């Protein structure tokens, strides 16, 4: 049923460069591409950049936003905390509303702070509370290494064996994608041993976008806490975090959120935990009541909501870059982006069908609801040389061992023409090899 529906959708596309150019003309978001710096080759031609899942491109406005803070710092020094055009003391608050919209949360549920893996640890301090009987953590078997390392170190920190305490949700033999029936049977058998389920919301390798609500309800039914790493989700898919009911989520802003290398991360803590002062957490002066923060001698008084997990006064220069990007997201609207994303990725899928199943196999789900913009191409019998030749031909994508090229047409700045040219170049590289 799904397969035929998807095939019908694919038949709406046409071949040829003219079609791609025509789609770009019809695309009401196409002008956003001009608002980004597109990396160039040595001759000064635009590279075909399909790597926004790894590092999003720089909006041209970012420089202006950062320069404003550099100027205010130069002219005002410490007074900038209160007198800057965008005062630094409440600066993180300027990001809250737009961030909440992007991830589908209420403002009280989100905060921008630290970096992703740090936030993951802070969330586990609050939501991984092992007991003698219930101490295990469930993750997906092909989790991003940092997530796996973080989770293992939490197990060790609490005195558990990091192998015995870790339960993996694995694909079946010969498959790449994870099945919910398998998660259900793990929960049936081990649900009462599991303290925390922590899933990469969009798997970095396969691009599979999980059903947060389904996983959360299943976890909660068995008494587990449930959190998601949305590094590949934020700015890419409809996360709808509040309605999912998840206890927490974390993400970075340098992938689909276009906020610069190593930029700050984001954190979601569900509203139901917002006023729970007894929830264990690590704290600092930035989690303390803003009204009395500078009296310096008060008893700790936690801020309600996600802000109550902050530790330090944040790096304003990085936040300025995030604000530049969020202003653009806010202007476009995440739903419009997702609409274009589905079209653009569907087009990529359509063109790839031409290459033949004996050369390239897409391992990302066919169902557009179960993926974002990224398609992961498994290259049959390939070594990395195919990827190297593709790079030589002016395509920026990425290679994941053993045999996957990840391609992410990002709706904000990638065009139908980018996608056409990618597949055209891929064809030529494959022809030369055979
Ligand atoms: C990109 C990514 C990270 C990176 O973590 P940092 O703390 O930002 O270095 C972690 N987890 C996932 C799932 C990622 O995709």
pLDDT digits (tens, 9 = 90+) for 14-48: 999 999 999 999 999 999 999 999 999 999 999 99
Gap between the Cα atoms of 120 and 434, Å rounded = 46
Pocket test for ligand 1, best of 112, 124, 204 (most atoms within 8 A of CB): 204
Mean pLDDT score across all residues of the chain: 95
Give the position of tokens 């202003």. Answer: 327
Give 83's contacts (C-beta < 8 A, 6+ positions apart): 72, 76
Residue ID of nearest Cα to ligand 1 atom 1: 231
Q: What is the DSSP string of 65-125?
A: HHHHHHHHHHHHGGGHHHHSSS-STTGGGGGHHHHHHHHT--GGGEEEES-HHHHHHHHHH
Q: What percent of the chain has pLDDT over 90?
A: 88
Check if the beta carbon of residue 274 is closer than 8 Å to that of residue 109.
yes
Residue 6: its pLDDT value, please?
Answer: 67
Give the residue numbers of the binding site for pyridoxal 5'-phosphate: 116-117, 144-147, 229, 232, 254, 285, 313
Report whether pLDDT(404) > 70.
yes
Q: Which two tokens stand for residue 397?
A: 């994508």
Cross-strand pairs, 377: 362, 405
Distance 52 CA to ligand 1 centre (A): 14
251 Cβ closer than 6 Å to some ligand 1 atom = no
Pocket test for ligand 1, best of 51, 117, 124, 150 (most atoms within 8 A of CB): 117
Check if the beta carbon of residue 393 is closer than 8 Å to that of residue 425.
yes
Residue 432: its pLDDT value, please?
Answer: 84
> Does residue 418 or residue 1 have the better pLDDT?
418
Residue 392: its pLDDT value, please?
Answer: 94
Report whether pLDDT(91) > 70.
yes
Query: Phi and psi for 24 in degrees, rounded to 5?
Result: -65, -40
Domain with CATH 3.40.640.10 in the chain: 90-331
Distance 254 CA to ligand 1 centre (A): 10
Model pLDDT for residues 189-222, shown as the tens digit of each residue: 999 999 999 999 999 999 999 999 999 999 999 9
Please state the rounded mean pLDDT for residues 56-75: 98
Gap between the Cα atoms of 144 and 403, Å rounded = 17
CATH of 90-331, one of 3.40.640.10, 3.40.50.720, 3.40.190.10, 3.40.50.80: 3.40.640.10
Does pTM surpass 0.85? yes
Gap between the Cα atoms of 434 and 379, Å rounded = 13
121-130, 179-188, 323-332, 381-390: segment of lowest average pLDDT? 381-390
Report whether pLDDT(96) > 90.
yes
Backbone region of residue 100 per phi and psi (left: phi > 0; alpha: psi in -120 to 50; beta: other values) = alpha
Please state the rounded mean pLDDT for residues 84-98: 98
Residue ID of nearest Cα to ligand 1 atom 13: 144
Distance 252 CA to ligand 1 centre (A): 7
User: Cis (ω within 30 of 0) for the bond into 402?
Assistant: yes
pLDDT range class, residue 254, cuts 50, 70, 90:
very high
Positions of E strands within 329-403: 360-362, 375-379, 395-396, 398-400
Does the domain at residues 5-60+335-433 carry the CATH identifier 3.40.50.970?
no
Residue ID of nearest Cα to ligand 1 atom 10: 146
Report whether pLDDT(2) > 70.
no
Distance 265 CA to ligand 1 centre (A): 9
Query: Phi and psi for 137 in degrees, rounded to 5?
Result: -120, 135
Model pLDDT for residues 9-21, shown as the tens digit of each residue: 777 899 999 999 9
Pocket test for ligand 1, best of 54, 118, 146, 208 (most atoms within 8 A of CB): 146
pLDDT range class, residue 5, cuts 50, 70, 90:
low
Report whether pLDDT(312) > 80.
yes
Pocket test for ligand 1, best of 116, 233, 256 (most atoms within 8 A of CB): 116
258 Cβ closer than 6 Å to some ligand 1 atom = no
Residue 8: its pLDDT value, please?
Answer: 62
147 Cβ closer than 6 Å to some ligand 1 atom = yes
Cross-strand pairs, 248: 227, 269
Report whether pLDDT(1) > 50.
no
């Amino acid at each position: 049923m799904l397969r035929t529906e998807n095939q019908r959708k694919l038949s709406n596309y046409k071949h040829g460069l003219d079609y791609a150019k025509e789609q770009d003309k019809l695309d009401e978001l196409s002008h956003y591409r001009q608002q980004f710096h597109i990396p160039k080759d040595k001759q000064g031609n635009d590279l075909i950049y399909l790597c926004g899942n790894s590092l999003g491109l720089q909006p041209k406005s970012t420089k202006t936003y950062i320069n404003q803070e550099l100027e205010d710092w130069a002219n005002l020094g410490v007074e900038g905390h209160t007198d800057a055009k965008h005062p630094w003391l409440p600066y993180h608050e300027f990001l809250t509303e737009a961030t909440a919209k992007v991830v589908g949360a209420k403002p009280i549920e989100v905060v921008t702070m630290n970096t992703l893996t740090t936030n993951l640890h802070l969330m586990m301090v609050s939501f991984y509370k092992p007991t003698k009987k219930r101490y295990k953590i469930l993750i997906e078997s092909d989790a991003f290494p940092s997530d796996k390392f973080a989770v293992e170190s939490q197990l060790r920190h609490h005195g558990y064996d990091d192998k015995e305490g870790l339960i993996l949700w694995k694909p079946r033999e010969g498959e790449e994608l994870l099945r919910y029936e398998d998660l259900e049977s793990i929960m049936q058998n081990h649900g009462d041993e599991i303290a925390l389920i922590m899933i990469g919301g969009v798997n970095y390798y396969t691009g599979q976008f999980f059903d947060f609500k389904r996983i959360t309800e299943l976890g909660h039914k068995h008494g587990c806490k449930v959190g998601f790493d949305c590094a590949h989700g934020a700015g890419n898919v409809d996360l709808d975090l509040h309605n999912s009911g998840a206890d927490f989520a974390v993400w970075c802003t340098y992938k689909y959120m276009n906020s610069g290398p190593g930029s700050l991360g984001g954190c979601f803590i569900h509203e139901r935990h917002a006023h729970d002062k007894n929830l264990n957490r690590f704290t600092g002066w930035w989690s303390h009541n803003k009204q009395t923060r500078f009296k310096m001698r008060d008893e700790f008084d936690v801020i309600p909501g996600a802000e109550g997990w902050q530790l330090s006064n944040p790096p304003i220069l990085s936040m300025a870059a995030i604000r530049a990007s969020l202003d653009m997201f806010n202007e476009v609207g995440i739903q419009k982006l997702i609409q274009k994303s589905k079209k653009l990725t569907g087009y990529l899928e359509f063109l790839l069908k031409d290459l033949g199943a004996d050369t390239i196999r897409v391992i990302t789900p066919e169902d557009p609801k179960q993926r974002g913009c990224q398609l992961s191409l498994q290259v049959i019998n390939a070594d990395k040389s195919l990827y190297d030749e593709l790079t030589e031909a002016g395509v920026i994508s990425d290679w994941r061992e053993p045999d996957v090229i990840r391609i992410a047409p990002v709706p904000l700045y990638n065009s139908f023409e980018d996608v056409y040219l990618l597949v055209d170049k891929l064809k030529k590289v494959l022809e030369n090899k055979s």
